[in-house]
A and B are shown apart, each in its own frame.
Chain A
Amino acid sequence: MAGAVSQPNVTYAAPKRRSALAMFCLAQPLGAVSGVAILIMLFGGVFADFVAPYDPLTIDFGAMLAPPSWEHWMGTDAFGRDIFSRVIYGARTALTIGFFASLFGCVSGAMIGVASAYFGGRVDMVVQRFIDVMLSFPIIVLALVVVAMLGRNLLGGIDINLVFAIAIPIVPKVARVVRSAALSIREMPYIDAARAAGFGHMRIILRHMVPNVAAPFLIMFTAFIAQAILLEASLSFLGLGVTEPTPAWGLMLSGNASDFYREAPWMILFPGLAISVAVFAFNLFGDSLRDWLDPKFKV
């Protein structure tokens, strides 16, 4: 029976895919533009090794503080490193951390939210009070507390603890929204039916409840990538995120970058623009996705 419910969904989605994309573009032109911007960033980040004209770490004292030119589109920094290349590799840093932090935050948040709604009663009460507490802090404060507690832990070039620090403030927000979506589903007859059929909690949550909160989940996932990128930039700017010489937008703005505001204003201009454009694109895309998928839904 479970199969009967979910099967049509899958087969329904597959053939309609292309036209769904076209419809999205028509209905949400701004969303489509931002989607393209995201794709460009994604492409740059993934294929940075081929796209970037220079190695982002190699120092070239001969080309220090060079203004934007055909050789260096966005100029160079105080070490003669090509800013355009560093912005491209910075996209890789931002998107990797943003993606994993948002993914981790949204998945754990969604699981907590769905479980809380499904079990209800005392479990729900306790979980919700805990979430209340977490929601009363600005995300950057939560992230800083996590940074203070965990320190650093690099794995394959990514600071896992930094990803945690950025993901954890996302968890309660997602949990709260997903819970309310799941609450309404819990009252649906098919959940009762599944329970009556003797399915386990895990199975009901995963097979019946989770797929039905997928829309708000997807919207939040996109929106929180924007938040995560901004948060990573802030932490790096404070010297508590990624460290030199890793190319990262927030880091490129920190230290003495602003000392060169007369000599080399491009040093603070382009990384700041990169952050703004990335956050702007993900926000806009999330917005459009929401309008398109679920007009009633509000993050």
Chain B
Amino acid sequence: MNQNHLSFGRRQFLQTTALAAATAGLGLYDASPASAQAAPKRGGNFTFAISAETPHYDAHGSDTFATLHFGAPFYSTLLQFNLADYPKVKGDLAASWDVAADLMTYTFKLTPNVTFHDGTALTSADVKATYDRMRNPPTGVVSTRQATFIDIDAIETPDPLTVVFKMKNPNPAMLEHFASPWNWIYAAKDLAANPNGPRTAINGTGPFRFGEHVRGSHITGARNDKYFRQGRPYLDGFRGVFMTQPAAMMNALQGGQVLAEFRGISPAERDRLVQVMGDRVRIEESSWTLNLMVVFNTEKKPFDDVRVRRALHLAIDRRAGAQGLARTATLRDAGGLIRPGSPFAMKDEDLLKVPGFGRDIAAARNEARRLLREAGVPNLTFVLHNRNLAQPYTPAGIFLVDQWRQIGVNVEHRQSETSPYLAGMSSGNFDVAVDFSNLFMDEPSLALAKYLSFNKAPENRSRAIDAEMDRLYAAQSRERDFQKRFDLIRQFEKRALDQAYQVPLLWWHRIVPTHRTVMGWQMSPSHNLGQDLADVWLNT
């Protein structure tokens, strides 16, 4: 497979993953991850918790892990991330693939004899229909993948087992996009019958067949005996139980009613489980490709003033926060725009010199007060718009309110349910907000896209327009030399932090508890990956 564009980074990638694996292996409590190889046993039913319930079944139109955690076992994708060697990719439905040197053509050979759960054979037409639906949805169909696949020009199917993607522009992250967990392959005939069918009905090629979905309660799946990978899945079936109350979920994990929760729990919850369950529970940890940010609405006064934004940015003691919050919240590392520890991230010693990330918080706060006085708003008051999720949004909000109080800024903390929260963010109806960037890989072009000008990236909630940042972004995405690209990214990062339209708060830290009996599951830095349960088995 041809991966020229990534060759510059592979060594670093490998180093990082090795490091991550080492720290995860130390894992504080445990040295044998769920993925440890022993002779797998067949059979058994696996019950796990899902901390949110999906509103519908269609991953193409979803951005929540809730859809993936229950739906991934029913479906397949073209490629997958290889979690044993993240962030490399491996085939799922694709048996092999070929990438043209100019990155303008991707050719996939499909695994033969794959059938959907209803018996239909999978062909290249199904893949084409799926990708056409995502990049160019028919009216009435919601696809949140349109931007991702905007560079695709045409999809050709020369024979039933070959799919060819022709590109408009080269996109260095394209292979990773093909491995994205959201791109479930649907049957062309289902989409022809009803383009919105996948919202309410499940027909995939995945290791499990859909059993039942009792709303508000649980979802079940049963082994797909005709699954294309020999000997998989090991489990007879699974049951995902919706548990939206964190306290209830903890109780269930502790009591053994559920054997795992894959999104991630807080350190306090981890400590509680370890304390009570001892070696019956296995804890795996990893840094998380998720980042909480503080966003200033630059269309509202006084947040159009860079001095005000900088003052609020400087007042946050990220070092203390990282230490203190890490004990009880799913937040861990103070970091820049790129996930700390990943190849393109700022080195920690450099980060210490960046205003707002240093150790001398008193000086930073004096500077912040001075800036506020200069901007004419020494007694600033505003509303902090936040999501009402217990982890890590609420602790982040409590922390920010406290930090800003210390420079004399009075903040009202307002938390809303996910949909009104997102609505407020996209309509610009807020002063300052806690935002998040939900990535499944560290590729800078993906991670930095959120900081592009508002007219280029609607997910930039600050609504700022900054041509210089757009220029730097384009430059780094074209640059193939690692060091040069690294330097360009630093320039971009400096600009972003100086202007402070939106600033990183803390990076998340993922902690996954599984009962010791759960085997074959792979930890990764993203809770969106690796949830098809094909390799999971129970050691009972």
The residues of A with any CB-CB pair to B shorter than 8 Å are: 57-59, 61, 64, 78-80, 152, 154, 239, 243-246, 255-263
Contacts and interface: CB of A to CB of B under 8 A. Distances in A.
Contact of B394 (A154, A244, A261, A262): A244
A244 B397 contact: yes
B347 interface: no
A115 B272 CA distance: 58
A239 B386 CA distance: 13
Contact of B398 (A79, A239, A262): A79
- Report, nearest first, the 4 A-B pairs whose CB atoms are least far apart: A61-B324, A78-B328, A59-B402, A258-B247
Contacts of A255: 246-247, 390, 394
Given A64-B324, A79-B395, 18 more contacts: A57-B405, A59-B402, A61-B323, A61-B324, A64-B327, A64-B328, A79-B402, A239-B388, A243-B388, A244-B415, A245-B402, A246-B413, A256-B247, A256-B269, A256-B391, A259-B266, A259-B268, A263-B275
Interface string B267-306: 0110110011000000000000000000000000000000
Given A61-B320, A243-B413, A259 B247 contact: yes
27 contacts: A57-B401, A58-B405, A59-B399, A61-B320, A61-B323, A61-B327, A64-B324, A64-B327, A64-B328, A78-B327, A78-B395, A79-B324, A79-B398, A80-B324, A245-B398, A245-B401, A245-B402, A245-B413, A256-B246, A256-B328, A256-B390, A258-B250, A259-B246, A259-B250, A259-B268, A263-B268, A263-B272
Interface of B: 246-247, 250, 266, 268-269, 271-272, 275-276, 320, 323-325, 327-328, 388, 390-391, 394-395, 397-399, 401-402, 405, 412-415
A262 B272 CA distance: 8
A124 to B, nearest CB: 41
Contacts of B327: 61, 64, 78
A217 B398 CA distance: 40
A45 to B, nearest CB: 20
A83 to B, nearest CB: 14
A79 B328 CA distance: 8
B283 to A, nearest CB: 15
A129 B267 CA distance: 54
Contact of A259 (B269, B397, B413): B269
B21 to A, nearest CB: 28
Contacts of A243: 388, 413-415
B398 A59 contact: yes
Nearest to A60: B324
A259 B324 CA distance: 17
Contacts of A239: 388, 415
Contacts of A64: 324, 327-328
B383 to A, nearest CB: 8
Contacts of A258: 247, 250
Contacts of B272: 259-263
Contacts of B394: 244, 255
A251 to B, nearest CB: 10
Contacts of A78: 268, 327-328, 395
Contacts of B395: 78-79
Contact of A244 (B320, B323, B325, B398): B398
